[in-house]
């Protein structure tokens, strides 16, 4: 199997983020208690947007620590993303660009689900992409919020 270059991995990561809108969102509270959910997501070209209820553990953890780890893909073709909360917006107060972009990408609109939903914009700080153990070395495609290719 030919190993992918960093540039090829970046291209694959971007294609996956644009084409597939389900991922795992791991957060932890200030004491380190972990929490994991599956969530719909939208890559807006710079940030990953997820939506969840404002009273959820995920929302509380993001408010406390501002950090999340996102998992995308299958174990044989995985993308792991360390992200920092950029901001959150109540779904009912979101501008059309945010709300319509999200709903068009994922196929549902949090504004129509209830008043207790919000959008969370997450800025990737580190992205790793690898297909199996043979690609673990050189898996970083982004570090410190900067693409490596």
Q: Tens of pLDDT along 44-94?
A: 999 999 999 999 999 999 999 999 999 999 989 999 999 999 999 999 999
**Residue 17 in contact with residue 147, Cβ under 8 Å?**
no
- Provide the 8-state DSSP code for 133: G
Write the pLDDT tens digit of every residue in 127-148. Answer: 999 998 899 989 999 999 999 9
Please state, in angstroms and rounded to a whole number, the distance separating the CA atoms of residues 137 and 119. 34
CATH superfamily of the 6-142 domain: Electron Transport, Fmn-binding Protein; Chain A (2.30.110.10)
Q: Model pTM?
A: 0.95
Band (pLDDT 50/70/90 cuts) for residue 114 is: confident
Please state, in angstroms and rounded to a whole number, the distance separating the CA atoms of residues 59 and 66. 9
Domain ranges of the chain: 6-142
Count Cβ neighbours within 10 Å for each residue of 48-62 and write b for 16 or more, e otherwise. Answer: bbbbbebebbbbebb
Question: Which H helix or E strand runs over 115?
Answer: none
């Amino acid at each position: 199997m030919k190993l992918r270059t960093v540039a090829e991995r970046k291209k694959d990561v971007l294609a996956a983020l644009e084409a597939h809108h389900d991922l795992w969102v791991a957060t932890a509270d200030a004491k380190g208690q972990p929490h994991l959910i599956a969530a719909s997501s939208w890559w807006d070209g710079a940030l990953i947007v997820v939506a969840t209820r404002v009273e959820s553990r995920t929302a509380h953890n993001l408010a406390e620590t501002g950090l999340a780890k996102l998992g995308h893909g299958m174990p044989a073709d995985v993308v792991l993303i360390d992200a920092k909360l950029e901001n959150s917006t109540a779904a009912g107060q979101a501008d059309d660009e945010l709300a319509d972009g999200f709903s068009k990408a994922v196929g549902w609109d949090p504004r129509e689900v209830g008043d207790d939903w919000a959008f969370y914009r997450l800025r990737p700080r580190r992205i790793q992409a690898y297909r199996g153990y043979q690609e673990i070395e050189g898996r970083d495609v982004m570090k410190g919020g900067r693409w490596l290719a």
